[in-house]
Amino acid sequence: MTDTHLTPAIRPEAIPLAQILPWAVFAGLLLLLAIYFVGAEEGATSLIHGMAVHEFVHDGRHLLGFPCH
């Protein structure tokens, strides 16, 4: 028997931090916005009048453990 060593023909390139950073910041802002709407969009901090957002994310609030009533 002979030993066979497989080496990849193409090595993946590292993605520079300068290219990842804007997308990471954008994703982080979207995540914070989603957490706000699920967790705090009612009462004194409400940005949108009425209960439409609260009712839309109601089940998600309970699933994530946010109290709402």
24-46 tens-digit pLDDT: 999 999 999 888 878 777 766 67
Q: State the pLDDT confidence band at 7, using cuts at 50, 70 and 90.
A: confident
In a domain, 26, yes or no: yes
Helix (H) or strand (E) holding 48: none
Q: Is 49 left (phi over 0), alpha (psi -120 to 50) or beta?
A: beta
Report pLDDT for 30. 96
In a domain, 44, yes or no: yes
With b for 16 or more beta-carbon neighbours within 10 A and e for fewer, the 8-22 pattern comes to eeeeeeeeeeeeeee
Report pLDDT for 65. 83
Which of the two residues, 61 and 21, has the higher pLDDT score?
21
In a domain, 2, yes or no: no
Question: What distances in angstroms separate CA 58 from CA 4, 22, 25, one per listed residue?
Answer: 58, 31, 27
Report pLDDT for 44. 66
Task: Give how many domains the chain has, as a whole number.
Answer: 1
Question: 25 lies in which domain range?
Answer: 18-64
Read off the DSSP letter of residue 45.
G
In a domain, 4, yes or no: no
